[in-house]
A and B are shown apart, each in its own frame.
Chain A
Amino acid sequence: MQNPPAARSGAISIRHLTKIYDPEGVNVMAVDDCSMEIGGGEVCMIVGPSGCGKTTLLNAIAGFHSITGGEILLDGELLCGPGKPIAKQAADRIVVFQNGALFPWMTLADNVAYGPIVQRRMPKKQALERARVMLAEAGLGSVAEKFPGEVSSGMARRAEIVRALINDPKVLLLDEPYRAMDALTKSIMHESLLEMYDRTKVTMYFITHDLEEAIFLGDRVYVMTTRPCRVKKVLHVNLPRPRDYHVLSSEQFRLLVEETSEAVHEEAIKAFRAGERELA
């Protein structure tokens, strides 16, 4: 019954990754010799202060930016590395953006159906039907024909995750997706994300500032150092799945937070002292 490791899709290996930016001729080391192994189907939470370079890693995996050294592999295949500085953008790695990137000129259903249509995986009609079904599963059936500007930010964010999942990506890359949300909306978003994860078991690379969010959602939490970005601490979250908000008040959860918060706080202070702006 057990799958051979190669078939477990969505494993990311980041090896000795280095990224140097040179805005105005001054070299800035954003990431320095950073290595990470993310197993297939794992929810990997990246916690670190603003501007530490965690988005740089995401951009490298997604193929938005080149890397300076090291390599990134997806299921053993080279995404970028020596001789191939920038990964090719493809629908096996889909990004959910910090400020939301649903196309405002398309309805939610058209947005969700967009991927399968442009990849020629489904005819338009079928893609739209599938999009409506998936939106309904996510509790968005009643707003499927609305434009993103007409729905709440929570609904839009959920629709954006549906837009990613319809493509059966190997990896979901989430760049602080719930940053601008109030605590109540956030908790609803967390539950729906957990529920979607339990159904799809997609690998997630999830960037956040919020340690409690990271422990609540993640299998592993990587605490990153401030620039240049390296792994400072790895926390294995052994809370059982499926999880719901009751976990948040458990003793086990509290201990995990306690174990990690010092490391996070240290880096936050360093980053604050450095006062550097985030590099895109």
Chain B
Amino acid sequence: MSAIAPSLARPTAPTGLMMLRHRIIKTFSSSGPYLMLLGIFTWLFFYWLFCEALSLPRFEKLPGPITVLSDWLSRDPAQGMSIFVREYYVHIFVSCRRILIAFLLATAVGVPLGLFMGWSKVVKDYTFPILETLRPIPIMAWVPLAILMFSGYETPVIFLATLASLFATTLNTMLGVQSIDESYFRAAGCLGSSRWEIFRHVVVPGALPFIFTGLQISMGVAWFSLVAAEMVSGDFGLGYLILSSYVNSVTVPMVIGMLTLGFVGWFSSALVRLLGDRLMQWRVRALATQGR
């Protein structure tokens, strides 16, 4: 009896350190992390094989993983860029600051705009055709205009990144509102909600999953257009680092810049995802009951 009873009781979720321990054990008892390591290793191996071991044609000019890593981690890098060089962090900081400004601006404008576009047909009729015409214009086509409109290095770059993010955020938010099941609006209506309350309690939370998908995409395109813009016009930043290294024929800082972009971009997307999960506990928990 007593041996069975505890398992029949509703289990309580572990908290704090126990939760962390549980998660770590669970993570490392699945195949995921090992496959990831294997994947990274395979990729590095072929990179090394082509560039450094075999020096295959077309690969011979590229710096191999060992050259890059040893410079990256060196106190005295041969080509001038490593984690011990102050300038390296200036590039990262400048790019991150631009992304932050652009992303926040695009979110502050795009989310409300998308919400109203999805909610009100009038707003959509006014704005959607313009948005759909401007959206397919590649962000690089905006570069001359951005340089004409804004002075200095900073504002044109931020403008371009903001613009790219804005489209992704607005469109996804609008789709998010349109994806909300009609019966939620009806239910809110017959429970006595005003139009404003329907907006607050149905439109906003209902669109949130799509909004966060949009924000993830928007973060990606912000980085993409930022780097492109920094290559054209810039004094600092990871895009500038990549292009100026190429111009100065130092290939190692170029690859370091690229890999750094990868890590920083991945990290920024993870932050957005984390924020989304925090705001949408209802969704996280519902998915968890489905074993996801």
B205 touches A97 (CB 8 A): no
A94 touches B190 (CB 8 A): yes
Residue of B193, B208, B281, B283 touching A118 (CB-CB under 8 A): B193
Known: A90-B192, A119-B191, A147-B286. 19 other contacts (CB 8 A): A62-B190, A63-B190, A89-B189, A93-B190, A94-B191, A101-B183, A101-B184, A105-B206, A106-B282, A107-B282, A114-B201, A118-B191, A118-B192, A146-B285, A147-B282, A149-B282, A150-B289, A163-B191, A167-B192
B192 touches A95 (CB 8 A): no
A97 touches B191 (CB 8 A): no
> How many interface residues does A have (CB within 8 Å)?
29
Alpha-carbon gap, A119 to B194, bound state (A): 9
Is B202 an interface position by the 8 A CB rule? yes
B interface residues, Cβ below 8 angstroms from A: 181, 183-184, 186-194, 197, 201-202, 205-206, 208, 280-283, 285-287, 289
Is A64 an interface position by the 8 A CB rule? yes
Alpha-carbon gap, A149 to B291, bound state (A): 12
Residues of A within 8 A of B197 (CB): 118
Chain B nearest CB, measured from A56 CB (Å): 14
A interface residues, Cβ below 8 angstroms from B: 62-64, 89-91, 93-95, 97-99, 101, 103-107, 114-115, 118-119, 146-150, 163, 167
Residues of A within 8 A of B183 (CB): 97-99, 101
A103 touches B202 (CB 8 A): yes
Residue of B186, B189, B283 touching A104 (CB-CB under 8 A): B283
User: Which 6 A/B pairs are nearest by Cβ-Cβ distance?
Assistant: A149-B286, A105-B205, A101-B187, A91-B192, A101-B183, A119-B192
Chain A nearest CB, measured from B184 CB (Å): 6
Chain B nearest CB, measured from A167 CB (Å): 7
Chain B nearest CB, measured from A85 CB (Å): 17
A97 touches B282 (CB 8 A): no
Residue of A63, A118, A149, A167 touching B289 (CB-CB under 8 A): A149
- 11 residue pairs A–B, Cβ–Cβ below 8 Å: A63-B189, A89-B190, A91-B190, A91-B192, A104-B282, A105-B208, A105-B280, A115-B191, A118-B192, A118-B201, A167-B191
Residues of A within 8 A of B192 (CB): 90-91, 115, 118-119, 167
Alpha-carbon gap, A99 to B183, bound state (A): 9
Alpha-carbon gap, A137 to B184, bound state (A): 25
Residues of B within 8 A of A167 (CB): 191-192
Which residue of chain A has its CB nearest to the CB of B280? A105
Which residue of chain A has its CB nearest to the CB of B10? A142
Chain A nearest CB, measured from B145 CB (Å): 41
Alpha-carbon gap, A148 to B205, bound state (A): 14
Which residue of chain A has its CB nearest to the CB of B194? A118
Residues of B within 8 A of A148 (CB): 282, 286
